[in-house]
């Protein structure tokens, strides 16, 4: 029987990213993903905006409420999605748990801008037996999982060196790539801040940083979102080069080969291997991995504990701990 899902927050990731795009071309929002997946049933939503609530009701033919308490008096969700602004995550999670005990909560990233608030969210869910997951959606992409397996199996050898470009804040957007590189390269070890950079929207730092993980070292560089979006990772391995471009829409792997012109030299193969991805359906991938996790199967969806570890590591970097 499908599990009922309530979405709290009908902004871009909640509903709007794919609202004017055919479902054949994109599944970017929680609303579309949960409404289409056979393991779940979209049963309602919450948002303070009357316009967004009306649009949700029109598209999905499900109720939408102004208040969380009102929604939980009328509905009995098994899954609650928190897709509100980051500063509201803790307050909303507390309000949800005051009224109900869902099987799982899927929260947008990062958990919080505050380590203490994120820790409290984790503890509250653990005490109530609620499984907490965080929407670092790239970990659920088949291409990303393939890369992890190539590293794990030694086909992409380590140690690895790389460069990761991010923008729109180290915690807001940079955490996507920090969490992704933890998924590929293991735990954070230490770091050096190269440049403090600026504050994105006067609250989220954008430093340039050298970071060491278990299996490699990465330099994070902050780009200028107001000029153009640029989210890429380039990894160099003793066995080749990986290029993760356009936020993961393009993934290419070039393995090494002997240079036919110069004896004793090794070079990258001219034609890269394309690693298939599913970033056009990234939110479907997350929901699919959530279904696997809730049924006891192996899953790559980011747990609350893993997301907290990401946040804690990034906090240490920014605060020089």
Per domain, the residue ranges of the chain are 3-137, 142-277
Q: What percent of the chain stands above pLDDT 70?
A: 100
Buried b (16+ CB within 10 A) or exposed e, 4-29: bbbbbbbbebbbebbbeeeeeebbbb
How far is Cα 233 from Cα 216, in angstroms, rounded to an integer?
13
The residue whose two tokens read 């394309």 is: 274
**Between residues 289 and 263, which one has the greater pLDDT?**
289
Q: Which of 157, 98, 166, 173 is nearest to 128 (CA)?
A: 98
Binning pLDDT at 50, 70 and 90, where does residue 260 land? confident
The CATH code of the domain at 142-277 is: 3.30.360.10
pLDDT digits (tens, 9 = 90+) for 180-196: 999 999 999 999 999 99
Binning pLDDT at 50, 70 and 90, where does residue 43 land? very high
Alpha helix (H) residue ranges in the chain = 30-36, 50-60, 68-74, 89-99, 115-128, 142-152, 175-185, 282-294, 304-318
pLDDT digits (tens, 9 = 90+) for 99-125: 999 999 999 999 999 999 999 999 999
How far is Cα 38 from Cα 40, in angstroms, rounded to an integer?
6
How far is Cα 52 from Cα 273, in angstroms, rounded to an integer?
43
The CATH code of the domain at 3-137 is: 3.40.50.720
């Amino acid at each position: 029987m499908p599990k009922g899902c309530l979405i709290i927050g009908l902004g871009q990731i909640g509903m709007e990213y794919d609202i004017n795009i055919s479902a054949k071309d994109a599944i970017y929002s929680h609303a579309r993903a949960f409404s289409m997946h056979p393991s779940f049933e979209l049963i309602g939503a919450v948002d303070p905006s009357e316009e967004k609530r009306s649009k949700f009701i029109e598209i999905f033919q499900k109720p939408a409420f102004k208040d969380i308490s009102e929604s939980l008096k009328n509905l009995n969700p098994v899954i609650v999605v928190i897709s509100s602004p980051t500063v509201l995550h803790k307050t909303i999670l507390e309000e949800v748990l005051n009224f109900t005990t869902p099987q799982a909560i899927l929260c947008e990233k990062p958990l919080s801008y505050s380590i203490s608030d994120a820790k409290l969210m984790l503890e509250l869910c653990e005490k109530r037996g609620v499984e907490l997951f965080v929407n670092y959606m790239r970990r659920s992409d088949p291409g990303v999982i393939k890369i992890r397996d190539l590293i794990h199996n030694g086909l992409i050898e380590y140690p690895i060196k790389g460069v990761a470009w991010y923008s729109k804040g180290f915690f807001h957007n940079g955490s996507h790539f920090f969490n992704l590189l933890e998924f590929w390269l293991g735990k954070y070890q230490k770091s050096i801040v190269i440049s403090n950079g600026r504050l994105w929207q006067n609250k989220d730092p954008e430093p340039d940083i050298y970071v060491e993980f278990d299996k490699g070292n990465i330099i994070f560089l902050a780009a200028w979102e107001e000029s153009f979006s640029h989210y890429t990772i380039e990894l160099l391995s003793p066995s080749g080069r990986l290029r993760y471009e356009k936020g993961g829409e393009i993934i290419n792997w070039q393995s090494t080969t002997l240079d036919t012109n110069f004896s004793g030299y090794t070079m990258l193969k001219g034609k890269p291997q394309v690693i298939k991805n599913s970033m056009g359906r990234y939110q479907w991938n997350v929901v699919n991995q959530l279904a696997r996790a809730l049924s006891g199967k192996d899953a790559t969806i980011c747990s609350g504990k893993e997301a907290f570890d990401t946040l804690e590591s990034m906090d240490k970097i920014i605060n020089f701990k």
